[in-house]
Amino acid sequence: MKKTSIGGQALLEGVMMRGPGKFAAVVRTPGGLLAREESAPFPKERHPVLGWVFVRGVCNFVQSLSIGMKALFWSADQIADEPGGAGGAGKEEPKGLGKGLFALSMGLALVLVVGLFTLLPTFLSGLVPAFQTGDAELPVSLNFLRNLFETALRLVILLLYMVLVSRTKDIQRTFAYHGAEHKSIACYEAGEELTVANARRFSRFHPRCGTSFLLTVVLVSMVAFLLLSLPLQMLHWNSVILRVAARLALLPFVVAVSYELNRLVGRSENVLSRAVRAPGLLMQRLTTREPDDGMLEVALDALKRVVPAEEGADAWGTE
């Protein structure tokens, strides 16, 4: 099986696929399938320096987040339209959302992610009496325990968030489209003809899913923040506010390291690589559902639109 750099994202009643040169979003409306395609070369294609190790991770992450939000808002706009009244592939921006509101929505989403998974655990750990025994003199062992406690809180918050949102009917359909995205990509990687019947045979779990990346970020942040706590302690800079500020400053580094680790793990199938990917595959039991044939049709349509004409142009690790 080949490994492709093509990745995707579930939308509202649709799927977005991102290839080496463009992305395509396809949604199912009462009037039929609607598609949007847009050029989206990787950042390094415009500026080679953005393809350097530890630089490409942050740049690709920001670009992927922007594309994903754009496609998500576009899908919501199509679903909200009257049957037959959607604009289709030629729309440059979601009809009901101006550029300012689009940027604001992206900003609010980032604030929510940072607040829930970075600021809240740090704040809560500062309320634990055992971690308030004089920050300037806090033993290294206690710093280590505080870091583990914060990591455990992040994982618990993440799991609770996933469990709660997965109970919503609309989210369950979105998770089923997520499963359709995985099945379609697995079918393509296996070299099978891209048909609904073929895609149906593959697993809804995929080792290179964004869910796995999210867990990698949590684990890398644990190590990074532990190492950071030592110089902060020596400088007597261990207040909650400084700890939060330090974590925010380290986020680009954490994303960059997580990206490189995912690339490394994704290139091999040894025991260590499978062990690293295992938690992400378990998490996908919450974030994916078995899709119906109509969902697979949508995902395959989006996938076909981004498969490059040149063989191997989408090989894993080329992004």
Residue matched to tokens 């940027």 = 103
- The C-alpha R_g of the chain, in whole angstroms, comes to 21
Chain-centre distance of CA 54, in angstroms?
A: 18
What pLDDT shows up at residue 75?
92
Domain residue ranges of the chain, discontinuous segments joined by +: 104-167+205-287
Q: Long-range contacts of range 212-216, CB-CB < 8 Å, 24 or more positions apart? A: 212/262, 212/277, 212/279, 212/280, 212/281, 212/283, 212/284, 213/258, 213/259, 213/262, 213/280, 214/158, 214/280, 214/283, 215/279, 215/280, 215/283, 216/258, 216/261, 216/262, 216/276, 216/280
**Dist CA 207 CA 278 (whole Å):** 8
The pTM assigned to this predicted structure is: 0.81
Please say whether the dihedral angle defined by the alpha carbons of residues 179, 185, 189 and 193, taken in this order, is positive or negative: positive
Q: What is the pLDDT along the chain (319 residues), one digit of tens a residue?
A: 788 999 999 999 999 999 999 999 999 998 899 999 999 998 998 888 988 988 998 999 999 988 998 999 899 889 876 454 434 444 444 444 444 555 565 566 666 666 677 678 877 877 777 776 554 455 666 777 877 788 788 888 878 888 888 888 888 999 999 999 999 999 999 999 999 999 999 999 998 888 778 778 878 877 887 777 767 666 666 666 777 777 778 889 999 999 988 888 877 778 888 887 888 888 899 899 999 999 999 999 999 999 998 888 898 877 7
Q: Got the DSSP string for 188-223?
A: HHTT----HHHHHTS-S--TT-HHHHHHHHHHHHHH
Of 29, 234, 67, residue with least CA distance to 136: 234
Closest CA to 300 of 207, 209, 188: 188
**Cα–Cα dist 192/153, whole Å:** 42
Contacts of 17 (CB under 8 A, 6+ apart): 6, 7, 8, 23, 24, 25, 181, 184, 299, 302, 303, 305, 306
**Helix or strand run (H / E) with residue 311:** none
